Structure 1
Amino acid sequence: MADITVRNATLADAPRILEIYAYYVEHTVITFEYTVPSLEEFEGRMRHTMEKYPYLVIEKDGRIEGYAYAGAFVGRAAYDWACELTIYLDHNAQKCGMGRMLYQALADRLKAMGILNLYACIGYPQVEDEYLTRNSAQFHEHLGFALCGTFRNCGYKFGRWYDMVWMEKIIGEHKADQPAVQPYRY
């Protein structure tokens, strides 16, 4: 049986995480990014996320097979209780339960910080093609996310237009006197 572990990412993980992400940049519309960022730029993105939010990796038998992190939803104080989530698994590691395990670990850490609302921004095809299916939206729906918005023809990649959907999951109680969100501690 495989040994599967979720842990906090470190900057030493950046080359493998970037390797996973590069596949999606180059071969899919799961990310609307056109070019693979440099390792230095990617490390900077990780550092920025880690200032306040969890950045996790999932390992199978000691090899990183995916990663997930949270970020500010909009970046204004009134939105502090909401986060946008991102998850990527090695393109060969899908459909084996690691995505669910990784996302649950991320949600647990966010809830402990005081986060209440989780959001996912997902590329969505009007017609599935070789670059984009509806799998990500279906994955999120399976985990309790609900569709809360659709932007039509807002992303252009590989010579085609794609929609983007927002999905939402509420993980905490909204109060009149809401306690402040606590930054994630590594």
Structure 2
Amino acid sequence: MARLRLADPESSDPAAIAAIYAPWVLDSTVSFELEVPGPDEIARRIVATSQFFPWLILEDEGRILAYAYASRWRGRPAYDWICETSIYVAGDAMGTGHGRRIYGALLEILA
């Protein structure tokens, strides 16, 4: 059964996350990025985001199926209690309920 955990920038997580994210950057309008960030950039983002917000991983037998995180919405102090959420599911894991599960866990932590 798939389990939830926090992302680890010092492990193989950034490479797996970059692989899940790549099709969303290259083949869809979901991401506003033009180039796929590599594992080093993903690791940097995990570290920066995790200082204030959760970055969750859903994995099964060591394989990352989905990830979700919250991040700061705007830089001004009035927005300190507002965040933006993001979720990405591996293509072959879509339609399995994994997205609903990880997003629900993220929202529970944020509440």
- Where does residue 8 of structure 1 map in the other structure? 6
Cα distance in structure 2, aligned partners of 1:88 and 1:32: 14
After TM superposition, the structure 1 = structure 2 runs for residues 1-186 of structure 1, keeping only pairs within 5 Å, are: 3-11=1-9, 12=11, 13-111=13-111
- Secondary structure of 1:92's aligned partner: helix
What TM-score do the two structures reach when normalised by structure 1? 0.56
Contact kept? 2:15, 2:38, Cα under 8 Å: no
Q: Shift of the alpha carbon at 1:62? A: 2.9
- Secondary structure of 2:103's aligned partner: helix
Q: Shift of the alpha carbon at 1:17? A: 0.7
More strand by share: 1
Gapped regions of structure 2 (runs ≥ 5): none
Matched AA of 1:67: Y
More helix by share: 2
Matched AA of 1:54: P
| Aligned residues between the structures | 109
The alignment-based identity, stated in percent, is 39
Contact kept? 2:17, 2:64, Cα under 8 Å: yes
Cα distance in structure 2, aligned partners of 1:95 and 1:33: 25
Q: Shift of the alpha carbon at 1:7? A: 0.9
- Where does residue 121 of structure 1 map in the other structure? none
Cα distance in structure 1, aligned partners of 2:31 and 2:73: 17
Q: Shift of the alpha carbon at 1:38? A: 2.4
**Divergent runs of 4+, >3 A:** none
Contact kept? 2:68, 2:87, Cα under 8 Å: yes
- Secondary structure of 1:108's aligned partner: helix
Cα distance in structure 2, aligned partners of 1:68 and 1:81: 18
Q: Shift of the alpha carbon at 1:73? A: 1.4
What TM-score do the two structures reach when normalised by structure 2? 0.91
Cα distance in structure 1, aligned partners of 2:30 and 2:3: 25
